[in-house]
Structures are given as structure tokens and as C-alpha cells.
Amino acid sequence: MNDYDNETAWTNSDNYSFYDQNVASSSTFDPFQPMTNTDTIMSTTVTTAATSPTAKDEFEPEPMTIIVDDAQKSSDGSFITYRVFTMTNLPMYSQDKRPVRRRFRDFLWLHNALTIEYPASVIPPLPEKHRMKYMKGDRFNPMFIEQRRLGLQWFMDRIARHPLLQASQYTRVFLESTDFKVDKNIQSKTAPSNSIFGSFFKTFAKVKKPDEKFVEMKETIDKFGDNLNIVEKLYARIGKRQQELELNYTHFAGSIRGLSALETNVDQPLRKFAEATEFYVESLKEMRKQEDLLFLNDIHELLNYCNAAKDKLVERDQKQVEFEELSTSLQAIMVEKERVLHPYKQQGAGANIAELMTDKMNDHHRAKNERVFRLESKIKELEESVAKANDDNNSYSNQMIKEYEIFQRTRQTELKQGLSAYADCHIDFYKKSISIWENILPVLEQLD
């Protein structure tokens, strides 16, 4: 069960025509067209919600539905493309809703572009390409393709639920451009050149004064991730038992066939019963396959989303660390300046005699006013750095509060979808099972 079951009517209808991107002219899409009211939407980051209880939260996303479906091989058979169809009333999007086709590397481009454009936001992770078990099989295997399509669907769902990401110029180009190869290169020229992996190898320091809000966020995400890992392990255990059950039922069907060879007067009913058991085994296998596809993959993608949120919390902590370290350095320089200006001033009962002697020796080599000038220059530089670090820290902190709210809503929605899919798999299985065994009952009447 998912949020798109209700959209099948229009996704399969003839109400729209499909662009052939090899023929369509790039003049039909301008990646730099004016975006009415876009600035208001894209700048909404850290402002507080309206005080009126009926006012809409400024950080709420606009209604948006993105469908990723119809996986097809490219003309040369070297890669898979997916049809992407968008429905939204956001003003920067064209009202001429037409689907486009995108390959995996195009989704990767969008992920990287959003990471650069919104460094303080939790950018949804792409499907688990890094998991080696997904790299062992044939990448053109229908099961692999469907797994990836679902992962890309979850990726786009999360973008559609995010008020900044859904209104990004990069998202718009991705969803609407009919000459994407050209338009994405034009857009890439306007993006900052810094690498999204710039802090990957950085050794992270600990925050001196942790903010309880963000400590609680991390603990909540950690607990949720731990529970997901437990669910995954228990699901794997259940799956192993289901496989054993399938094998036992297969042997059971074989034994019934053996009986039919001995009981020649009732061989046909016995063979029919064996066939019913084999159909039952196939239903078990199909249920497990659908559970893996719709439930287990959902758990994996939720775990990836948890990791993305935790990584962003770590980045926020580093902004605070930078502010704390710069503030400490500024304070030390100001103390040094005070000591140079007043070398004989007692700073409490424990004045440092060694420092005073050092000052006397240094004064033989440089004028006091020169030292003061350099220190004041350093103080001014550090004050600017501290102010910028403080702004960055506040910006990241305020944005992280908003991102956490989105994370909370998203995880609830996706967990509900995954559990609903799991329940639907069992409902379908038991309906098929009832039909199988009910159909065999009239045949068994012949045994009388």
C-alpha cells in the first residue's frame, strides 16, 4: 500500500503526451525563467511560525506529487531510464505537465546539486548503491531494477515533502527539462565549486557546551535507528524460517505425489492435492519476495535517512565547535593585548613573573606600539571570524530544528507505508491460500 495507488488513473491515462528528449528542442524549457514568489519560498529557513493559530507554517511544503515508474533500457542497452512525472501548483513549475525520462546518474546530479545549494539541510540519500550485495547481481535484473526504482521513488518523495528542496531551481530543471544534458550543464556552472565531500576526512572535535535540543535529537534518531536494525534482524530470522517452511512444503508435496503412484485408484485427487501444495509454496515465495521489495527496502532506506540526519547533526556540532574555538582564540589574543599594554599590572595574587620577564626581553627587540598594532589587527580579524562563525552556527542550528521536524514527519509516513505494505503482502497471501485450499476440497470428495 502506498500514497500513489490513487494516482493510477491519471498515470495510465492519455491526458498527457510524452516528450521524446532526442527530438524536443531545448527552447521549450528555460532553466533561468523568472520564478514568481520563489525567493520567498527558498529563503524560508529560520523564521518562526506565524503567531496566529490559523496561519500556515512558513516551512510547510506545498502539495507536490512525483511519480517514478516505467523503467526501460536505453536504445543501446547500456543503462536504465525511468519516467518521472510531476504534479504541483508551485508557481515556478510549468503548468504544461509532461513526463521526462531520467537515468540514475541524473538523480545523482540532483542529489549533489541540492547538497551544495542547501548545506544546512538534510538531503535525502539515494538508493543503497554502496551496499555490495546489490552490486553482485545483474543490474538489469527485473528485481534489481524495481528495487532501485522504489529507492528513487522514496528519494523524490522526500524532496517533494521538503519546502526548500521542492522549490530548488535544480529540482525544477530535473523535473521539467526536455534537454536535460544541456540544461544541467548550464545550471552546474552557477553552482559553487566546493566539494560536497570537503569535510569527509576532517577530524571532528567535541562541543564544549552541548545544546540539549540537539543532544535529544541525536538520541532519538539513534534509538529509532537501533530499533530499525532490530526489526531488520528479526525479519531476516523470520525469512529464514519461511524458506525452511517452503522447503518442507515442497517435500510434503513430493510425498503426496509418491502416494499417488501407490494408490492408483485415487491417484488423480492425490496429484491434484500435491499440485495445490506446490501452488501454496509459490504463494509463500511470492509473499516473501514482495516483503523484501516493499518492506525490507523501506527499512534500509529509513536507516540511510537516519544516517543522513545524524551526519547533518554532526555538521551542526562542528559549526558550534568552530565558534567556540574562534571565541577562545579571540579571548586569548585580547588577554595578550592587555598584558602588553599593562605589563606590570597584577592579575590577582598569582601574577606570572616569567611572563613579565619575557615582556621586558621582547621590548628590547620590538616597540610596544608595534605589538599592540598587530594584536589589534588580529583581534579585528578574529572578531569578524567569530561573528561569521556565530551566524553560521545559528543558521545551522535553526535550520536543523526545521529539518528535524521534516525528518519526524517523513519517518512516520514511511514507516506507516512499510508496515502497510507488509500487512498487504500477508493479506494477499492468505486470500490466495484460501482460494487454493477451497478449490481442492471438491477434488478430495472423490476419495470417498
pLDDT tens, 117-127?
999 999 999 98
CB-based contact 173:187 (threshold 8 Å): yes
Which of 62-71, 342-351, 374-383 is predicted least confidently? 342-351
What are the backbone dihedrals phi and psi of residue 83, each rounded to the nearest 5 degrees, phi first?
Answer: -80, 135
Mean pLDDT of the chain: 81
Chain position carrying cell 524458506: 243
Band of residue 360 on the pLDDT scale cut at 50, 70, 90: low
Cell of 362: 621582547
Cell of 107: 538523480
68, β-bridge pairs: 84
Which pLDDT score is estimated for 95? Answer: 79
Which pLDDT score is estimated for 242? Answer: 96
Band of residue 40 on the pLDDT scale cut at 50, 70, 90: very low
Q: If we measure between CA atoms, which residue out of 157, 187, 190 comes closest to residue 174?
A: 187
Which pLDDT score is estimated for 49? Answer: 36
Question: In this model, does residue 359 exceed pLDDT 90?
Answer: no
Chain position carrying cell 536504465: 80
User: Cα 426 vs. chain centroid, distance in angstroms?
Assistant: 28
Q: Please, which residues have CB within 8 angstroms of residue 227's CB and are 6 or more apart in sequence?
A: none
Question: In this model, does residue 378 exceed pLDDT 70?
Answer: yes
Cell of 226: 537501533
Chain position carrying cell 476440497: 441
What is the mean pLDDT of the segment spanning 217-224?
A: 97
Q: What gap in Å lies between CA 279 and CA 267, rounded to an integer?
A: 18
Q: What gap in Å lies between CA 324 and CA 74, rounded to an integer?
A: 53
Render pLDDT for 314-356 as a digit per residue (tens, 0 to 9).
Answer: 999 999 999 999 999 999 989 888 887 777 665 554 455 666 5
Render pLDDT for 19-35 as a digit per residue (tens, 0 to 9).
Answer: 343 333 333 444 434 44
Cell of 170: 535544480
Band of residue 362 on the pLDDT scale cut at 50, 70, 90: low
Strands of 100-103's sheet, edge to edge? Answer: 64-73, 80-88, 100-103
CA triple 251-256-260, angle to 5 deg: 145
Give the SS3 label for residue 260. helix
Residues in the chain: 448
Q: Please, which residues have CB within 8 angstroms of residue 432's CB and are 6 or more apart in sequence?
A: 283
User: Cα 336 vs. chain centroid, distance in angstroms?
Assistant: 48
What is the mean pLDDT of the segment spanning 138-145?
A: 85
Residue 348 CB neighbour total at 10 angstroms: 5
Band of residue 96 on the pLDDT scale cut at 50, 70, 90: confident
Which pLDDT score is estimated for 31? Answer: 43
Q: What count of Cα atoms within 13 Å lies in the side-chain half-sphere of residue 335? A: 8
Question: In this model, does residue 45 exceed pLDDT 60?
Answer: no
Question: In this model, does residue 208 exceed pLDDT 60?
Answer: yes
Give the SS3 label for residue 310. helix
Q: Residue 340, exposed/middle/buried by CB under 10 A (0-12, 13-18, 19+)?
A: middle
Query: Helices then strands (H, E): number in the chain?
Result: 11, 3
Of these ranges, 23-32, 65-74, 131-140, the one predicted with the greatest mean pLDDT is: 65-74
Report pTM.
Answer: 0.76
